[in-house]
């Protein structure tokens, strides 16, 4: 599974990239707006930090304008992935962009039928939103499972499932068990994945025992 950071904060990407865990980044207009930073500059800095795709979202609703915005975003860096909404206009834009060789992440997916359309249109990624479905009493993981089954039924569909709107380590575990190709997650969730109370207590015991020996691994020069 590939891990993308879900953020518009460049410092968060810089903080995590040296862990070797970050395969890409996703952003959206809401995340960018919260930072108050310039969008194109933010995307450029993130693209310089990671080798993998950095999703930058169009804001147009007409497919031709989406294509124009997408082509413009692609001039920022070679690893920009154009992000478009899962509407009929977005699907038209997806087809046009992919035909021209541009990678596309189709976002705001909330049904298996939508995901099938995104794959048919040639999307590189489709982003089903787990947390937002959970928020309205539906099962976001059921959607991931349905999409995985449909895509596996048709090997010619090369679109990767990008589990999005992840809120917890539980979401990550379930998405991995189902077989999502990618997960985009906040920094906090990535950090929480490394935590376990037995790890903390075990380390505390090891260190206390080691200190009692009076030894040190690194000798003074």
**Which sign, positive or negative, has the C-alpha torsion 168, 172, 177, 181?**
positive
Helix (H, G, I), strand (E, B) or coil at 35: helix
CB 190 within 8 A of CB 21: yes
> Does the pLDDT at position 219 exceed 90?
no
For residues 91-119, average pLDDT? 98
Measure the CA–CA gap between 43 and 35, rounded to whole angstroms: 13
CB 117 within 8 A of CB 91: yes
pLDDT, position 110 = 98
Provide the CA 158 distance to its chain's centre, in angstroms. Answer: 17
For residues 52-60, average pLDDT? 97
CB 102 within 8 A of CB 74: yes
In the chain, the domains with their CATH numbers are 2-195 (3.20.20.70)
> Does the pLDDT at position 160 exceed 70?
yes
Catalytic residue among 2, 34, 83, 205: 83
Quick one: which H or E segment has residue 82? strand 80-85
pLDDT, position 220 = 76
For residues 153-165, average pLDDT? 97
pLDDT, position 60 = 97
pTM for the model: 0.94
| Band of residue 221 on the pLDDT scale cut at 50, 70, 90 | low
For the segment 9-45, what is each residue's pLDDT rounded down to a tens digit? 999 999 999 999 999 999 999 999 999 999 999 999 9
For residues 106-134, average pLDDT? 98
From residue 137, give the alpha-carbon distance in Å to each of 29, 130, 141, 215: 26, 11, 12, 56
83 in active site: yes
CB 180 within 8 A of CB 127: no
What is the average pLDDT value for the chain, to the nearest integer?
Answer: 97
Helix (H, G, I), strand (E, B) or coil at 84: strand
Residue whose structure tokens are 């937002």: 132
For the segment 60-76, what is each residue's pLDDT rounded down to a tens digit? 999 999 999 999 999 99
């Amino acid at each position: 599974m590939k891990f993308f950071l879900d953020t518009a904060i460049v410092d968060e990407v810089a903080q995590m990239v040296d862990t070797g865990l970050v395969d890409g980044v996703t952003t959206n207009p809401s995340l960018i707006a919260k930072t108050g930073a310039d969008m194109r500059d933010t995307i450029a800095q993130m693209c310089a930090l990671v080798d993998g795709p950095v999703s930058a979202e169009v804001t147009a609703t007409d497919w031709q304008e989406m294509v124009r915005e997408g082509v413009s975003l692609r001039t920022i860096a070679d690893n920009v992935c154009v992000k478009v909404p899962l509407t009929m206009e977005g699907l038209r834009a997806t087809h046009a962009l992919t035909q021209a060789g541009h990678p596309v992440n189709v976002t705001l997916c909330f049904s298996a039928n939508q995901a099938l359309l995104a794959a048919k249109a040639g999307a590189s990624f489709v982003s089903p939103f787990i947390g937002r479905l959970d928020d309205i009493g539906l099962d976001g993981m059921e959607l991931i499972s349905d999409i995985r089954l449909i895509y596996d039924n048709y090997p010619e569909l090369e679109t990767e499932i990008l589990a999005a709107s992840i809120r917890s380590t539980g979401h990550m575990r379930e998405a991995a068990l189902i077989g999502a190709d990618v997960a985009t997650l906040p920094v906090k969730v990535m950090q929480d994945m490394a935590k376990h109370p037995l790890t903390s207590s075990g380390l505390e015991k090891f260190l206390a025992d080691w200190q009692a020996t009076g030894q040190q691994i690194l000798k003074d020069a």
